[in-house]
Amino acid sequence: MQKRTISLLCLIVFCLVIVGCGGKANMITSMDPRTNIIRDGHFHDYPNIKIGDAYDAFFSNPQWKYFKSDDGTEVVEFSGGCQFRNADVNVREQFILHTDDTFEAGALSFNDVPQIELINSALISTVFAAYENKQLPTDLKKSSEKQENKKSANLVENLFEVLNDDSLNVNQKNVDERQYIVNNHKIGVAVRKITNTDDFLTITKDESSVYNQRISNEQGYRIFRIKENHSQREFFIVDMMKNSLLMGYDEKNNSWNIYVSSDSYENTVNGEPWISAINGRLYLTYQQDGVRTKKQVYRLEWDDNKGAFDCIDEGIQ
């Protein structure tokens, strides 16, 4: 079965790359007619494509089932296989049914690990982009590619580029580490398990420790290496459930700096922090689990003259 690699053009979320492979729906889990509300339904952004057609074409072993949650909420749940960051994952996405036959996207998980709204949006965009591209005649595909190239040429200034997207996990081993080369310096990011409840985050430059912090143990950590294309400065994002850090090496002052810590900003929605690159912009977002929950958003802009990030409050969305 041939696999496809789809990279997001419109919703660039940490250079998310998903590989899908098509398959036929499992008829045993598709017999409840209420699943057809979703399978035959459409998203507003894709009015001419049935959700079931796009999902069944993209994922291996696609399955649909209906159930009622403990609080009486009616749910249609999809599950299927794909590849995420070169690893096989089982995707599970829920759709919440309303009494007027409308619905909304709900919880999303990869291998039973919950994902936030940005990843859910990116997944939907990837699945439908793959289906649209498959359906386009060859001449329209070329025209579409030209339009995307035009969009890329007109991106806003201060474009941030994601260079690496890595995960660290110390629940299966006591130490997990990644190494990067930045301006001829070797930068190491490591997490070491101390106890069942605590880990230790260490940053090294040329094998010398420059940052150490005791942190709460979590299922996993996301490390993003990004570049600000005007100054060519590189930074690191360390995303954790309770805190997100934006840090980097200051060559001029020979220092390792914490430029942004999510602990330092107002979080009125009591959500989990997430620093993300979207359409070339950098955002600090707080959001609770759930696709439709409110989120508090700050835009982060690098000021090379000050050697610091400006934080612009974009309010609750």
Question: What digits encode the pLDDT tens for the residues 114-133?
Answer: 887 777 777 888 888 888 77
39 and 51 Cβ atoms separated by less than 8 Å:
yes
249 and 185 Cβ atoms separated by less than 8 Å:
yes
pTM over 0.75: no
Residues in contact with 251: Cβ distance below 8 Å, sequence separation at least 6, in sequence order: 183
Question: What digits encode the pLDDT tens for the residues 300-317?
Answer: 999 999 999 999 999 988
**Averaged over 203-232, what is the pLDDT?**
89
Question: What digits encode the pLDDT tens for the residues 131-158?
Answer: 877 754 444 444 444 444 444 444 345 5
**Beta strands across the sheet bearing 208-216:** 175-182, 185-193, 198-205, 208-216
CA distance linking residue 6 with residue 293, whole number of Å:
27
More confidently predicted of 161 and 84: 161
